[in-house]
Chain A
Amino acid sequence: MVATANSSQTAAGAEGRSPSASARGAYEWILLVVAGLFGIVSIWFVGTIIWQSASTFKSQGLYLLTGANWVPGAGTGLPSQYGGRAMIFGTIETSLIAMVIAVVIGTGTSLAINFFVPQKMKTFVATVVELLAAVPSVVYGVWGMLVLAPWFMNTVGPFLSSIPGGTAVLGTTVAGKSLLLAGLVLAVMVLPTYVAISREVIGAVPHELVEASLSLGATRWQTLWKTVLPTARIGLFGASSLALGRAIGETVAVSLVCGGVVGTTFKPLEPGVTIAGWIATQWGEAVGSDQIGALFALGAILMVVSLAMSVFSRRLVARQRRAAAVV
């Protein structure tokens, strides 16, 4: 956001040194060549992942997206079956749970930090939030596995199952490790990321708007709900798409708490798998067999999703900016 805000300024600066564009010196050439190198690396990146997964795409076809079984054929004489339905559903389910929790609690937290927390404590809270955003995901995973999973097994799981219809909808948990637990751990993990940005975005809403709304007789909440949040929506959207990206791609934290079972029902309290988690847990035995190609194919799906999300959010933000500029 900072970059785009300043781009017009630099564009003006660029006109001032336009003569240099025609006659590139050694300096300009070095910049261009190294940037070109980075471009090549990024193409190589995409190419390698696609190329490594090509054989699996060819042999599995659509089964890779819809198939329910993941059975390596090595040593059995049967053809390998690599169906990614459980991983894809698991990824969607855990990310969805995480995002609903993180966005609701995170937005409330950001509003509270900006409008209710005393001025003196604001810097402290902001620093803590940013430090927590830097805690490695494996730490969240270990905490989820050693602390939350037993709690889930003994308290939360039985409670949810005891609600009438709870078992039918949510399933029952055996060891605590489940898609719901993975979603919860992800929520706790992406919360600092989301709050770190949404706090700034909400803090950047002009104070005149807040005061105008209050002076018209709106209550505090009406001001927050009808003035502050709509004004900050572009930034909030950016924050949530960043958090969503983190949730979808998270590997180790999820693989420690999701249970690691290729299921068919996807009930939240039952164990499941996600794309990234499955790649990490299967990797050791996959090396040297055709399963490695299948894991690369899952990686390719992840890459396409992350790319699509990035393009989508970029276009949406650009469009909303244009709309905001017109108003």
Chain B
Amino acid sequence: MTQLDHTSHEITSGEIRAHLRERSAATLRRRMLVSKIMTVLCWAAIVAAAVPLIALLIRLFEKGTPVLFKSGFFTQLPQQPTLFDQTNTGGVSNAIVGTIAMIVYATLASVPIGVIVGVYTAESESKFAAAIRVVASTMVGAPSILMGLFAFGVIVVQLKLGFSILAGSFALSVLMLPVLISSTEIAVRNVPTTLREAGLALGAKPSTTSLRIVLPAATTGIVTGAILAISRAVGETAPILLVIGGAYAVTWKPGDPGSALSVSMYQDVGQAYDSLKDQAWGIGLLLVLVIFVLSFAARIWAARKQKVQR
């Protein structure tokens, strides 16, 4: 060893080691620096994401809360402000009733069909079921305005039923269907196979097993999916904007032209009067509150049910 150290004058192994140590120390310093910078940037990303969203919520509550407490917001029909009475906006009773009516009709139409199709795609392995699955997941991602065009083509053009609450409900139910199918399918598939096998082993018919054992076990998932589909439909604007016609009257009748909260909000914000723009904030806050309550309900319900099952 000593001899070797004496003979190799140009580069000793110690020098190599020192050089390597220095180099690795340099890369380590560089790597740590990059890592620190990127960590800071990740934090910056979370701030950049949060700031606009929080600003939006603050503005919504700040501008919307006084509108919600205005007398007659829930009970009066909308009024057109004039130059002499610029704050005379009235309420949104027609839009509230219109939205509730459309949601109810759309839910009644789409939930049974969606759940049945979802159960079918979960239980069948046929080519047809696979095709339905693909169609449903494609429709989930389809732009919602296409549902409006479809509703116009079917209800207004083909069936000649006119711009109506019915047409709006039709658009919403087509929008909700694929969501319901997918969520039901996932809920049914998440039921342990052992449950189904136990039913079959006891001699129950496959249909009895599905209806009496698998479906009850999947109820939580199905209901949660339905609530989330409804909360998506509540705020949807584009499809119903095309087909409900708009009405300054409170009506539940499917055949009448109707109004909706989201559509009123969209129309109010384009008006010249500041009071109507404020009204839009109020409607927005109402929509957001309803949707938050719905999603919280779905969440809490799902969590509680899970606890009970354990």
| Interface set of A (CB-CB < 8 Å, partner B) | 2-3, 6-7, 9-14, 16-17, 20, 25-28, 30-32, 34-39, 41-42, 44-45, 48-49, 51-52, 104-109, 111-113, 115-117, 127, 130-132, 134-143, 145-147, 188, 191-192, 195, 219-222, 224-225, 242, 245, 248-252, 256, 276, 279-280, 283, 295-296, 299, 302-303, 306-307, 309-310, 314
Contact = CB atoms under 8 A, between A and B. Distances in A.
Contacts of A220: 35, 39
B100 interface: no
B35 A221 contact: yes
Interface string B270-310: 10000001001100100110011001000100000000000
Contacts of A115: 42
A52 B157 contact: yes
B18 interface: no
Nearest to A53: B149
B193 interface: yes
Nearest to B137: A310
B142 A116 contact: no
B141 interface: yes
A10 B119 CA distance: 12
A35 to B, nearest CB: 4
B59 A249 contact: no
Contacts of B42: 108-109, 111-112, 115-116
Contact of A219 (B35, B44, B113): B35
A221 B39 contact: yes
B165 interface: no
A17 B234 CA distance: 40
Nearest to B201: A16
B225 to A, nearest CB: 12
A48 B32 contact: no
B7 interface: no
Contacts of B169: none
Contact of B141 (A2, A136, A191, A310): A310
Nearest to B32: A219
Interface of B: 31-32, 34-35, 38-39, 41-46, 48-49, 52-53, 55-56, 59-60, 113, 116-117, 119-125, 128-129, 131-139, 141-146, 149-150, 153-154, 157-158, 174, 177, 181-182, 185-186, 189-190, 193, 196-197, 200, 205-207, 209-211, 228, 231-232, 234-238, 241-242, 262, 265-266, 269-270, 277, 280-281, 284, 287-288, 291-292, 295, 299
A32 B213 CA distance: 20
Contact of B234 (A51, A136, A242, A279): A136
A249 B142 contact: yes
Contact of A191 (B53, B196, B242): B53
A299 B149 contact: yes
B143 A138 contact: no
B222 to A, nearest CB: 14
Contacts of B38: 221, 224-225
A35 B284 contact: no
B207 A283 contact: no
Contacts of A307: 138, 142
A48 B211 CA distance: 36
B206 A279 contact: no
A283 B153 contact: no
A145 B43 contact: no
A17 B135 contact: no
Given A137-B235, A248-B143, 15 more contacts: A12-B193, A17-B200, A17-B209, A25-B207, A27-B210, A31-B116, A32-B128, A131-B295, A219-B32, A249-B144, A252-B237, A280-B241, A299-B145, A309-B141, A310-B141
Give the most central of B56, B137, B270: most A CB within 10 Å. B56
Contacts of A44: 150, 154
A136 B116 contact: no
Contacts of B238: 251-252, 276, 280
B20 to A, nearest CB: 14
A7 to B, nearest CB: 8
Contact of A10 (B125, B138, B150): B125
B295 A134 contact: yes
A37 B266 CA distance: 34
Nearest to B53: A132
Contacts of A11: 125
In order of increasing CB-CB distance, the 6 nearest A-B pairs are A249-B143, A136-B235, A108-B45, A27-B207, A251-B238, A219-B35
Given A108-B45, A283-B241, A306 B141 contact: yes
A259 B145 CA distance: 19
Contacts of A127: 299
A141 B146 contact: no
Nearest to B37: A221
Given A38-B113, A136-B237, A303-B146, A2 B186 contact: yes
Contact of B143 (A135, A188, A306): A306
B190 A302 contact: no
Contact of A251 (B132, B182, B237, B292): B237
Contacts of A112: 42-43, 45-46
B143 A251 contact: yes
A289 B35 CA distance: 61
25 contacts: A14-B123, A16-B197, A17-B209, A25-B205, A27-B210, A31-B120, A35-B116, A38-B113, A38-B177, A45-B139, A112-B45, A135-B288, A136-B287, A139-B60, A139-B265, A142-B284, A146-B277, A219-B32, A225-B38, A249-B143, A296-B153, A302-B143, A302-B146, A306-B138, A310-B141
